[in-house]
Amino acid sequence: MTINNRRSDAIACCGEEILSRELLLSGTFADLIAGEAPTLRLLSDEERRASLASMLAERPEGDVWIFAYGSLIWNPIILSVESRRARIEGWRRSFCLATASGRGSPDNPGLVLGLDAGGACDGVALRLEEDDVVHELELLWRREMVAEAYIPRWVDLLDEEGARFGSGIAFTMNPQANTYAGGLSREATVQRLATAAGSIGSSADYLFRTRDGLRALDMWDELLEELAIEVEEMQRRLQQLPAADL
């Protein structure tokens, strides 16, 4: 099912996105992350270019699609000419990426989504205009490949009947990265999501916007729905605590 045509910047419920196309074009996003998390090893420009070149060298025949499963659903930033629902198999949506910047801090790392091994994931496929492929992927690499958290892969995109309609780039988790948080308990996950925040927003806001973005497309993720309820409840409890107990 096609969702819409050309998309860019934020599809957000409220406010102006700090993580914007302009920020990526300026080349300062990595500097922002480095300033907030000085111990995090960032990829160099040369490493980032080499990663993208490797992906393009492995490009399958046909159009280039991006598989969106988290913030790319509601704040894609990149320009696309077609959006449609898609499923990938072998990977599942999970809050398994710890972040000490952006939506967390070194003292209270937040959590954002990654694709962890196993299961399946429903999301949105964004098709790039052929003439725009290199430029838009360069911007996407500046956003997603700041550090070593993700391993980009070409994956088969399946439609609602389970038929393959194309190949897409998906940013899967690197389980060897020191930011991998796949082993967190449910309690720790809820605690981080409820309390962590950084320069581009809170982990809770990231969770709620992703849940709402999926709902708007009539795609309901049971894990995100449950986590949102638990995070909202924890936030209510924390608001009721005396300041001295926080």
CATH of the domain at 27: 3.10.490.10
Q: How far apart are CA 99 and CA 165, in angstroms?
A: 34
Q: Classify residue 185: in a domain, yes or no.
A: yes
**CA separation, residue 212 to residues 74, 75, 82 (Å):** 9, 12, 21
Q: Give me the pLDDT at residue 67, please.
A: 98
Please name which of 235, 229, 184 lies closest in space to residue 208, comparing C-alpha atoms: 229
Q: Classify residue 230: in a domain, yes or no.
A: yes
Q: Give me the pLDDT at residue 32, please.
A: 82
Contacts of 176 (CB under 8 A, 6+ apart): none
3-state helix, strand, coil in the chain (%, to 5): 35, 30, 30
Q: pLDDT at residue 246 above 60?
A: no
Q: pLDDT at residue 3 above 80?
A: no
Q: Classify residue 89: in a domain, yes or no.
A: yes
State the total domains in the chain.
Answer: 1
Q: pLDDT at residue 6 above 50?
A: no
pLDDT of 89-100, one tens digit each? 999 999 999 999
Q: Classify residue 246: in a domain, yes or no.
A: no
Question: Which one is predicted more confidently, 226 or 16?
Answer: 226
Share of the chain above pLDDT 90, in %: 78
Q: Which two tokens stand for residue 52?
A: 């993208």
Q: What is the mean pLDDT of residues 80-90?
A: 97
pLDDT of 162-198, one tens digit each? 999 999 999 999 999 999 999 899 999 999 999 999 9
Share of the chain above pLDDT 70, in %: 91
Question: Which one is predicted more confidently, 199 or 53?
Answer: 53
Q: pLDDT at residue 232 above 90?
A: yes
Residue with tokens 């958290």: 149
pLDDT of 99-111, one tens digit each? 998 899 999 999 9
Q: Classify residue 55: in a domain, yes or no.
A: yes
Q: pLDDT at residue 15 above 80?
A: no
Q: pLDDT at residue 131 above 70?
A: yes
Question: Which one is predicted more confidently, 115 or 14?
Answer: 115
pLDDT of 35-52, one tens digit each? 888 888 889 999 999 999
**The whole model's pTM is what?**
0.89
Residues noted as catalytic: 144
Q: Classify residue 40: in a domain, yes or no.
A: yes
Q: Give me the pLDDT at residue 244, please.
A: 53
Q: Classify residue 166: in a domain, yes or no.
A: yes
**Average confidence score pLDDT of the chain:** 90
Q: What domain range is 19 assigned to?
A: 2-241
Q: Classify residue 223: in a domain, yes or no.
A: yes
